[in-house]
Structure 1
Amino acid sequence: MATELELKLMVHPNFLKLACDFLDNFCQQSADTNNSRQPTLALMNAYFDTEDALLMQTGIAMRIRSFGSRFIQTVKTRGSSRIGMHARGEWEWEVENDQLDLTLLKEVPLPDVLKDMSWCKNLIEVYRTDFQRQVWNIELSNTQIEVVCDNGLVTSPYGKDTICELELELKSGEETGLYDFALQLAEHIPLQVSVVSKAQKGVRLKYGKIEFPEKPKSIENSLELASYWYEVWLVYWEAMHFMQDEALLQPLSHSMERLQACLPIDLQKRLMELDAEIKQVTLGDSPDLLERLAGEKSIGLAMLTIGQWLNAQAF
């Protein structure tokens, strides 16, 4: 079992090539031979669950990934919240074909409701994620990061969704290095922090629900409140683009106001200025408003700066 810690970044399709070019140039201009582009992969992934979504409800994602002639069976758990980052338990096995080997699950600490394994006979393929993955190995201040650029689709009987994102996965070193490198990217490329996994995108196609973080138990803890409103902000941002619904700008702005009240003065000022910038972009009747917002570098820079501060306080 490995613990996967990654920072996921939304990128509008218009800026995907810009992101890849930046990463190529970063590696080419680096004197460190550990910075390098790796072979591009075509990944085809089938996700499995019961008809009543028992695995999803217990925080489990199970898939078979195929690339070339290889097949990898993976189980991921919901893991712990890391304020804008994804931290999950992950088990992987190479298998002979595209059929699940359920005997391997004995290595996974399953929730009590799954331990009798009776649900296994009801498994079906519920959605797919098929995408091209470009890969770079990056070393920054003794932190080793795998950066991937994924471009493709999530498909299910209930519809489809796009995959257009960067993922920064910590391989070794300090996790603050993920934010340090993400901020370098954000200086050159419009991007935003995402808390929605590919598996969550697949589930969302069926249920049409936007997942919000759990509300803090105590409103007296300002850090918990800040973390909550930060992730609500991220969820509204992603949902607005998924649903192509500009009406979500209002709750987006509200979440920024609530977050602002929980931050130190310098970050309060930054968020207030960002809210004013967003409102300025939305003035007038623009058919490409969401695309224009996705092109604002200041949004991603603020998300990353605040996320880095919150993680520094919490951990």
Structure 2
Amino acid sequence: MAIELELKLMIQPEHLESASGFLDEICALSTCDEMSRQPTLSLMNAYFDTSEATLMEAGMALRIRAVNDQFIQTVKTRGSNRIGMHARGEWEWIVPNDQLDLSLLTDVPLPDALCDTSWRDQLIEVYRTDFERQVWNIKTATIAMEVVCDQGRVTSPYGEDRICELELELKSGHEMGLYQFALQLADRVPVQVSVVSKAQKGVRLKYGHIEFPDKPNAPATDLALAGYWYEVWLVYWEAMHFMKDDVLIQPVRHSMVQLQAYLPSYLVQELTQLDETFTQCLTVEEHLILKKLSSNRQVGMTMLMIGQWLNEQVI
């Protein structure tokens, strides 16, 4: 079992070339042999659950991935808490074909909700994620990471959604190095922090609702409330683009206002300036608003600065 820790970034398709160019440039300028772009992969993934979403409700994802004439069965579970990051337990096995081998799950500490194993007889393919993956091995002074750029689709009987994202996965070193590198990237390319996984996108197609973080129970610390409003902000931002509805900029801005109450003054100033930028973006023609918002580098920079500060408080 491994703990996968990654920082996920939304990116619009028109900015992918700029992101790839930045990463290629980083590798080309390095004298380190470990810095390189890897061959592009075509990944085909089938996710399994019951019709009642038993695994999803228990915080587990089960899939078969086909890549390079090989099949890999993977289980992912909820991991330790990281604000605005993805930290999950992960188990992988090479299997002979695209059929699940449930006997392998004996190695996985299942959540209590799955101790009754009757769900195993009810598994069906519930959605697919099929995408092209570009891969870079990046090493900085503080960390080694794998940076991937995924572009493709999530599909299910209930519809489909776009995959267009960057993932920075920590391989060694201090996790704050992910934020430091992401800030360099965001200074060049418009990206925004995302807390929505591919699996969550697949589930969302069926149930149609946006998954929000759980609000901390009272009495909650300022840090817990800051983390909550930060992730609410990120969820609304992603939902605005998924639903293609710029009206959601209002709860986006409301979340930012709530978040300000728990941040140091220099980050409050960043949010205030960003809100002023949003006001300017909303003056363009309505059909251009989302493009204007998603092309603004200040959004991602501010998200990353706040995410970095929040995680520094809990490490």
Common fold by TM > 0.5: yes
Runs (5+) with no aligned partner, structure 2: none
RMSD of aligned residue pairs (Cα, Å): 0.9
Comparing 111-120 and 32-41, the one that deviates more:
111-120
CA–CA distance in structure 2, aligned partners of residues 232 and 70 of structure 1: 38
Aligned length: 315
> Greater CA deviation, 51-60 or 32-41?
32-41
* 2:5 match: 5
Give the match for residue 199 of structure 1. 199
Q: Which piece of structure 1 moves more, 1-10 or 287-296?
A: 287-296
Flag the 1:284–1:24 CA change in 2: closer, same or farther, 3 A.
closer
C-alpha offsets along residues 87-135 of structure 1, whole Å, 9 cap, x if unaligned? 0000000000000000000000012232232111110000000000000
- Report deviation, 1:220: 4.8
Offset from partner CA, 1:123-150 (integer Å, 9 cap, x none):
0000000000000000011310000000
Q: Is the 8 A contact 1:219 1:225 kept in 2?
A: no
TM-score (norm 2): 0.98
Please list, as runs of the form range in 1=range in 2, the aligned pairs for 1:46-125 lying within 5 A after superposition: 46-125=46-125
2:166 equivalent in structure 1? 166
Identity %: 63
Between 1:210-219 and 1:253-262, the stretch displaced more is: 210-219
Q: Distance in 2 between matches of 1:219 and 1:277?
A: 34
Amino acid corresponding to residue 167 of structure 2 in structure 1: E
1:156-235 equivalent positions in 2, closer than 5 A: 156-218=156-218, 220-235=220-235
- Secondary structure of 2:286's counterpart equals coil
Contact (CA 8 Å) 1:5, 1:85: kept in 2 or not? yes
Shift in Å, 1:82: 0.4
Q: Tell me the equivalent position of 1:127.
A: 127
Length-normalised TM-score, structure 1: 0.98
Structure 1 segments of 4 or more deviating over 2 A? none
CA contact (8 A) 1:151 1:163 kept: yes
Choose 137-146 or 162-171, whichever is displaced more: 137-146
Provide the residue aligned with 1:154 in structure 2: 154
Letter of the 2:159 partner, please give it.
Answer: G
- Provide the rounded CA distance (Å) in 2 between the counterparts of 1:30 and 1:218: 49
Gapped regions of structure 1 (runs ≥ 5)? none
How far 1:261 sits from its partner (Å)? 1.3
Matched, 1:15 2:49: no
Separation in 1, partners of 2:95, 2:106? 15
Contact 1:42 1:132 survives alignment (8 Å): yes
CA distance in 2 between counterparts of 1:131 and 1:200 reads 16
Question: In structure 1, how many angstroms separate the alpha carbons of the residues matched to 2:222 and 2:113?
Answer: 35
2:287 alignment counterpart: 287
1:286 to partner: Cα distance? 3.1
Specify whether residues 13 and 219 from structure 1 end up closer, same or farther in structure 2 by C-alpha distance, changes over 3 A only. farther
| Distance of 2:247 and 2:254 partners within structure 1 | 12
Tell me by how many angstroms 1:288 deviates.
Answer: 1.7
